[in-house]
Amino acid sequence: MGSWLDETLTWGNALLFFLWGVILLAIVLGFVTYAIFFERKVIGWMQFRIGPNRVGPWGLLQSVADIAKLLMKEDTIPRKADRALFILAPALAYVPAFAVLAVIPYTQKLYFADINVGLLYYVALSGISTIAIVLGGWSSNNKYALLGGMRSAAQMISYEVPLVISVVGVIMMSGSLNLRTIADQQGDWFWQWNFLPQIIGFVVFVIAAVSELNRTPFDLPEAESELVAGYHVEYSGFRFAFFMLTEYVYVYAIAALTTVLFLGGWHAPFPFLDWVPGIIWFLLKFSFIVFFLFWIRATLPRIRIDQLMGLGWKVLLPVAILNVFLTAVYLELFVK
């Protein structure tokens, strides 16, 4: 698939690219619809509830109905809001969330773009969504939204840094920023995958990733018990749906990225299980990460903003840097 990118651009090629984009979008929308359903079911079961079970068989159409409702809602824009920015913000949040998916390799052969700096591309683009959140909070002309947006900016700065540094260890071990190469180089046995040799980096990465996603226990920008709904308090209808969509697409992206970077991508945990197609393994690992994110949402309380900053700068960042150092020492002594 990736080889098409090297060919000259013709009308036929452009149509193909467009088609693949639409297919990916359909997959992502399907994922988001059922991730929301799955989240509600999982959390429901953890809380001794049943969860949605009315719309369609086993409630499978609940999310579809919810989305349809959001799309048909009246589009309200506060009179004193900054109209242009208010309209721009949800779209601006969504575009990078979708764009980062281009570099995720699903199997050896199934991927969309094979970029040499894939990881850097991911990190650089995902930062843009935060600007959209600040923008949404600011343009709403609502004090709660403003506080939520500001929190989001502070949170992003504190967590983007440890997130990037925590993967430096992985980059050093594989010697590449290309996500396909990183996934490919992890060994055949599951203890050779990056999450064990890079256990410190892995833990820092997971914590920072949850924070990047603005999910519990780091859901400060939208902390509903303090800031009502945070940055999207004034949004309704499909604009609100776009913010929610962004959040779940990032769940998809982070789960896929964790799988590729630390959990061996499409590799089977044991070499004798190689006959199972790689995509199955990828999906299993991916689903586990998604489940993990929902699981902690049902379990943990929310952290406070100053504690969040302290954790980011005083704990995660030094630990991530230590991990880089340890990896360098290991590579120097044993590998070279």
Partner 1 sequence: MIRTEELLLNVGPQHPSTHGVFRIIVKLDGEVITEATPVMGYLHRGTEKLAEDLNYTQIIPYTDRMDYVSAMTTNYVLCHGVEKMMGLEVPERAEFMRLIVMELQRIASHLVWWGTYLLDIGAMSPFLFAFRDREIIINLFNELCGARLTYNYMRVGGVKWDAPVGWIDKVREFIPYMESKLDEYHRLVSGNEIFLARIRGVGAYDAQTAIDYGLSGANLRSTGVDWDLRKAKPYSIYNRFEFDVPLGKNGDCYDRYLIRLEEIRQSLRILKQAVEQFPSSGDVMGKVPRVIRPPAGELYVGIESPRGEIGVHIVSKGKAEPYRLKFRRPSFVNLQILPKLLVGETMTNLITILGGIDIVVGEVDC
Binding positions for partner 1, rule: CB under 8 A: 43, 46-49, 143-144, 147, 216-217, 219, 223-228, 297-307
Minimum gap (Å) between residue 279 Cβ and partner 1 = 34
Question: What's the rounded Cα separation, in Å, for the pair 85 and 90?
Answer: 9
Question: What's the rounded Cα separation, in Å, for the pair 267 and 262?
Answer: 11
215 versus 267: smaller Cβ distance to partner 1: 215
75 versus 224: smaller Cβ distance to partner 1: 224
The residues near 32 (Cβ < 8 Å, ≥ 6 apart) are 245, 248, 249, 252
Minimum gap (Å) between residue 154 Cβ and partner 1 = 10
Which pair of tokens denotes residue 69?
């409702």
197 versus 230: smaller Cβ distance to partner 1: 230
Helices (H), the chain: 11-46, 62-72, 83-99, 118-139, 143-174, 179-185, 199-212, 224-227, 237-262, 278-299, 305-310, 317-330
Minimum gap (Å) between residue 249 Cβ and partner 1 = 23
Alpha-carbon distance values, 126 to 72, 95, 209, 236 (Å): 29, 10, 11, 24
Question: What are the φ and ψ backbone dihedral angles of 214, each rounded to 5 degrees?
Answer: 55, 40
118 versus 149: smaller Cβ distance to partner 1: 149
45 versus 270: smaller Cβ distance to partner 1: 45
6 versus 306: smaller Cβ distance to partner 1: 306
Minimum gap (Å) between residue 137 Cβ and partner 1 = 13
The residues near 293 (Cβ < 8 Å, ≥ 6 apart) are 210, 213, 215, 251, 254, 255
Minimum gap (Å) between residue 304 Cβ and partner 1 = 5
Nearest to 213, CA basis, from 121, 133, 314? 133
49 versus 83: smaller Cβ distance to partner 1: 49
Which pair of tokens denotes residue 286?
């991916």
Question: What's the rounded Cα separation, in Å, for the pair 143 and 147?
Answer: 6
Minimum gap (Å) between residue 302 Cβ and partner 1 = 3
Minimum gap (Å) between residue 172 Cβ and partner 1 = 31
Minimum gap (Å) between residue 284 Cβ and partner 1 = 26
**137, 214 Cβ separation under 8 angstroms:** no
289 versus 305: smaller Cβ distance to partner 1: 305
Minimum gap (Å) between residue 34 Cβ and partner 1 = 21
Alpha-carbon distance values, 206 to 116, 221, 258 (Å): 24, 19, 8
Nearest to 232, CA basis, from 152, 329, 314, 112? 152
37 versus 112: smaller Cβ distance to partner 1: 37
